[in-house]
Amino acid sequence: MKPVTFNHAIQLAVLRIGVALTVLAKIWVEFDQLDMLFSQHGIIQEVLTKPLDISYVISLPKVIDFFGIQNEHLFLTSLYTVFGLAACFLLLGFQTKISAFICLLIHLMVFNGYNLLAFGFDGFLFSLLFYTLIFPVEKVFSFDRLIKGSTEVIAPDRLNLYLRVLQIHLCIVYFTAGFSKFGGQEWMNGTAIWKAINQPQFYTELTPFVKSLASYPWISAVLTWGTLTIELFFPFLIWIRWGKMQASLLIGVIIMHVFIAAVMGLQMFAWIMIVFDLSAFGGVLFRKPNLRFLAIFDRKSNTYEEKISGLNGCRN
């Protein structure tokens, strides 16, 4: 069995590295505010979280109660320190499965315990952490592979299965997002983007500039209908192997998320979606890897390259 070629297997490395960087960014943002966010005397009191608690799921408040932890500050600081170390190990691909499990467990405890503070970003991070745990991400660009000197490879049909799961999940996400918007008055009349950027919670340094542009009705309509079109038709057009259709569509989706990050201040959400996009379909950006810098990593036969391309469903 020949090893999977670089430009396809690297999507698993993108998944692992992207998720690890996301966790580190989350820790960086939250570390100085742990007591305010997650202690029993924080901004979300127990009287609000208790009615939402589900008895059979693990959560941070349950762990604190079960062990009778008195010094919440020390506990939360220690927990997030472990969280950060596990994310660093995951980034390097060292003890990858254990690191991914620790990251998933801690994120799950926080996510379950404080769902009033949870957003779409947290749900997507949970999904990608789960995929990082169950997929063989340690076999690509990892210290685990380097230390073990392993020659074990990912079978083409297995790689196809892993990528197909990511691809179908992503397509469902975009289609449901677009379908939920379709028919809405603001999305149909082209004012949704204009109204979104005028909400105070989405203000950034670029907002005034974009607002000045979007004040022209046709620009607001283009941005609104463009977003709706991408979300609705991405799940179908991304499978069409015609010209540069796939690569152009993927770049368009990434630009959409960059716009969301820059104009609406949703950087973490935009980042996790870009990681999701590249993990699922990043291979379409490399048409002829053996003729480019990827050749230093991939010296396998063109015949095998064609076989993998066919399995992946993405023309490279």
3-state SS, one letter per residue, for 142-202? CHHHHHHCCCCCCCHHHHHHHHHHHHHHHHHHHHHHHHHHCCCHHHHCCCHHHHHHCCHHH
Q: What angle do CA 54, 39, 127 make, to 5 degrees?
A: 50
Convert the pLDDT of each residue in 7-42 to its tens digit.
Answer: 567 889 999 999 999 999 999 998 888 877 777 776
Distance CA 316, CA 283 (A): 6
**Does the pLDDT of residue 227 top 50, yes or no?**
yes
If one compares 73 and 279, the residue with the highest pLDDT of the two is 279
Sequence-distant (≥ 6) Cβ neighbours of residue 299 within 8 angstroms: 290
Neighbours of 39 (CB within 10 A): 17
Phi, psi (rounded to 5 degrees) for 68: 60, 40
| Residues 307/130/250/194 CA torsion (nearest 10 deg) | 170
* pLDDT number for residue 189: 86
pLDDT digits (tens, 9 = 90+) for 86-105: 999 999 999 999 999 999 99
CB 265 within 8 A of CB 231: no
pLDDT bracket for residue 44 (50, 70, 90): low
CB 267 within 8 A of CB 276: no
Cα Rg of the chain, angstroms: 22
Residue 183 has pLDDT above 70, yes or no: yes
- pLDDT, tens digit, for every residue of 189-212? 888 888 888 887 777 888 788 878
* CA distance from start to end of the chain: 21
| pLDDT confidence tier of residue 302, bands split at 50, 70 and 90 | very low
Give the pLDDT band (50/70/90) at residue 50: low
Give the burial class of 259: count Cβ atoms within 10 A of its Cβ; 0-12 exposed, 13-18 middle, 19 or more buried.
middle
Asked whether 271 and 261 are in contact (CB, 8 A), the reply is yes
One-character DSSP codes across 249-288: HHHHHHHHHHHHHHHH--HHHHHHHHHHHHHHHGGGG-S-
**Is 50 exceeded by the pLDDT of residue 166?**
yes
On average, the pLDDT of the chain sits at 80
pTM for this entry:
0.82
Q: Which of 54, 30, 43 is nearest to 112 (CA)?
A: 54
> Which amino acid makes up residue 182?
F
Name the pLDDT band for 287 (thresholds 50, 70, 90).
Answer: low
pLDDT one-digit tens code per residue, 249-263: 999 999 999 988 888
